[in-house]
């Protein structure tokens, strides 16, 4: 069974499935809902059981400190316990939290067996920051796979097929 957990859900009791965290661009809801695309893609795949952590919220009060705290701790806890992390960085965005998460995920790779797949859309405003950081810290790590789309070629679908293939192994 594919289970999707949102920040409003407690994740203390989970089915013993592999787990996937969907990191990347949200931009306070101003970007396309690529998380829903990935979830739909997975549901149409051969994956039979998976816990998916989706941090996107329909309503989020960025002035409510308790809500912010709960969101951040939910994300940190579920990044740390995931077997797979798929990150998508959308064009025309900065996604500063995602940049922070890249550093966190790279540090987790030192002590865990997680797989980190990242797709960077052509036009993402910090693509060079991502490229240099991943080249420096994760270039030779087989558990990290990076897909950069170009002006002439999107690698989004390729990154999703790679994700599915990784989860089926």
Q: Angle, to 10 degrees, between the axis of helix 34-43 and the axis of helix 156-168?
A: 40
User: Quick one: DSSP state of residue 60?
Assistant: -
Closest CA relative to residue 98, chosen from 153, 43, 106, 10: 106
Closest CA relative to residue 127, chosen from 105, 106, 150: 150
pLDDT tens-place string over residues 60-108: 888 999 999 999 999 999 999 999 999 999 999 999 999 999 999 999 9
Q: What is the distance between the alpha carbons of residues 166 and 169, in angstroms, rounded to a whole number?
A: 5
User: Quick one: DSSP state of residue 8?
Assistant: T
The CATH number of the domain where 110 resides is what? Answer: 3.40.50.450
Give how many domains the chain has, as a whole number. Answer: 1
Closest CA relative to residue 159, chosen from 37, 26, 52, 48: 37
pLDDT tens-place string over residues 122-148: 999 999 999 999 999 888 899 999 999
Q: Dihedral angle at the C-alpha atoms of 154, 133, 123, 162, nearest 10 degrees?
A: 20
Residue range of the domain that includes 127: 2-168
pLDDT tens-place string over residues 1-44: 899 999 977 765 566 789 999 999 998 767 899 999 999 999 99
User: Quick one: DSSP state of residue 120?
Assistant: E
For the full predicted model, state whether its pTM sits above 0.85: yes
């Amino acid at each position: 069974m594919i289970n999707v957990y949102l920040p409003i859900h407690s994740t203390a009791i989970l089915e013993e499935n592999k787990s996937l965290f969907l990191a990347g661009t949200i931009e306070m809801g101003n970007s396309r809902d690529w998380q829903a695309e990935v979830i739909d893609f997975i549901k149409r795949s051969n994956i039979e059981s998976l816990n998916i952590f989706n941090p996107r919220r329909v309503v989020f009060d960025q002035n409510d400190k308790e809500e912010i705290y709960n969101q951040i701790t939910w994300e940190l806890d579920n990044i740390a316990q995931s077997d797979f992390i798929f990150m998508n960085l959308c064009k025309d965005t900065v996604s500063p939290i995602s940049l922070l998460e890249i550093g966190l995920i790279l540090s987790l790779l030192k002590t865990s067996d997680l797989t980190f797949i990242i797709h960077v859309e052509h036009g993402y405003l910090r693509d060079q920051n991502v490229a240099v950081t991943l080249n420096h810290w994760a270039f030779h790590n087989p558990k990290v796979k990076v897909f950069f789309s170009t002006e002439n070629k999107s690698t989004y679908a390729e990154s999703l097929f790679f994700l599915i293939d990784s989860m089926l192994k």
